[in-house]
Structure 1
């Protein structure tokens, strides 16, 4: 079975179109480096959905510092139950995201909001990010966006454990707990890591 169909099922065609958008407009507009063209599928798209099982069924999700739409757009294609906001402060990137969402026909479940995380008043079941900022700063930006019972899922790769240690003082001040989660990257032999942050219950 084709890897796209194996991971994305009925969204296989959509994810293929998204990869084409990244490989053309994404690189042309400077959102991705020219060397990333050959690594889009494994390094960016599959990596983005490795931790999809950490998101609750039917969740509202905000992708902070969405950039080229990673991980928000692959997550929305992979998990059709999710409602996703792509939060991006830079005009050029926000315009890219709006065009991509329109081209992919995702307007019913994916919205683009141009704002900084610290200025955005929304509340979400899950706050996701990938390659945005060091974890201490990211927690300060993202914690106010968590709904009651919500979580932050920060895709960090191999730096996750070290960044979690650096973020310990911020987590204590914010009354949050966190763990590092290891997940296989679908259809590859690789693994990746995320930091999952929650408010303790009870």
Structure 2
């Protein structure tokens, strides 16, 4: 596959097109806003003040970028929106997204940085839930022909592999949870 062809989203495309680049810009700005919110929570003094300023500007730029990629997604794959409207997981993700946005705004105006950071984290989780549920079952859509698209059922693992994973998954989850909780405890201190 070519790295760059005609910057379009139909036919024989390359790795870079206008839709992929705009999604990447949104992701970078969203993660930068999340990182600035984290620094706002964890630091004091000049770094805290600069992080708060950057977080405000970055979060304000996330809103129009989200609207833009939503409209672009509808233009590229209109079926995704209609599938999302009928999927209860998308509605649950929307409730999570609205709650997280409320927590983020409350944390911003009340100067409660932990609420702002938790709202930011849950907002990203809500966006991922909505996006994953909206594209299901066609995970990788072919621009050449629908029969070349990859859906979740066609690329699913065998029942034996899923059974094997059900045995090691709880062990891995326990290890990851233990690591995560120890990391949170270690990083809970304020940085000057």
Same fold (TM > 0.5):
no
Between Structure 1 and Structure 2, the one with more helix by share is 2
- TM-score band, normalised by shorter chain: under 0.3
Q: Which has the larger radius of gyration?
A: 2
| TM-score, structure 1 normalization | 0.22
